[in-house]
Amino acid sequence: PSGIVLAIEQDQHNNLWFSSVDGGVTCFNGKSFKNYSFQQLKGGNLAHCILQDRKGTLWLGLDGSGLLAYKNGKFSQLTLHDDFASNTVYSLFEDRDGSLWIGTNGNGAFRFDGTNLTHFGIKQGLSHGVVYDITQDMKGDIWFGTYNGVSCYNGEKFSSYYKKDGLADDMVLCIVEDSSGYLWLGTNNGLSVLSQGRFLSFTEKDGLINKGIMSLVKDNQHQIWAGTRNGLSRIMFHPD
């Protein structure tokens, strides 16, 4: 891959997939690289996110061209919803039931159960139409980080939370739950954690290297790492 790399995913065969701004999508099998050009991506001009589901399908969230599936060496576009094919897809997440959740730039979120595509937007209770990240907590609730707050869907209705409720900022870019059940939210202006029903927030004065949190990950040692606009921070949280 060349230029700015937007996404990386490791598939079930240990191949690494890279999406870059000016190089399409590239697969590395440990020995050699294979590039798939924009023309091969069914008109998609770049992929913001990549995810392989438990059935082995590799999904690519495209810029302005919806969602692309790669299976058995072939690409195909998901076209089950009239409004979907022209969406820019920012985030992908597979829940514990095997449904694929899709976050878009302005049209809310979609759930694909393998057959049906269901739309969740502001009318359904989502806090904003731009969805940067999606995850599922231990209780099974689905969380959406958006341009304006974070929304939680319990299977029936949405609850949304904002800066006025204790978030560090209304722009929530990434979400991860730790092994203790604390939900961490990276925002444009600091890091927040949902602990015992309330949000606590942290910035540089609390030890973060930078308050612009771009990514969050839990490693296999159950530690939370925050990728920021100016370096990396390891999170050590003791609620007591």
Helix, strand, or coil here: 229?
coil
Helix, strand, or coil here: 165?
helix
Cα distances (Å, whole numbers) of residue 167 to 22, 58, 162, 186, 187? 35, 34, 6, 9, 8
Beta bridge partners of 213: 228
In which residue are the tokens 């870019």 written? 173
Beta bridge partners of 7: 19
Report the b/e string of 17-54 with b at 16+ CB within 10 A.
bbbbeebbbbbbeeeeeeebebeebeebebbbbbbbbe
Helix, strand, or coil here: 124?
helix
CB-CB neighbours of 197 under 10 Å: 5
DSSP annotation string for 182-217: PEEEEETTEEEEEETTEEEEE-GGGT-S-S-EEEEE
pLDDT at position 191 is 96
Q: How many residues does the chain have?
A: 240
| Residue 127 DSSP label | S
Radius of gyration (Cα) for the chain, nearest Å? 18
Structure tokens at 164: 């006025």
CB-CB neighbours of 105 under 10 Å: 18
Q: Along the 240 residues of the chain, how does pLDDT read in single tens digits?
A: 567 899 999 999 999 999 988 768 899 999 999 988 766 666 566 889 999 999 999 999 988 888 889 998 888 888 766 667 778 999 999 999 999 999 999 999 999 999 998 999 999 999 999 999 999 999 999 999 999 999 999 999 999 999 999 999 999 999 999 999 999 999 999 999 998 899 999 999 999 999 999 999 998 888 899 999 999 999 987 765
Q: Which residues contact 227 (CB under 8 A, 6 or more apart)?
A: 213, 214, 215, 216, 217
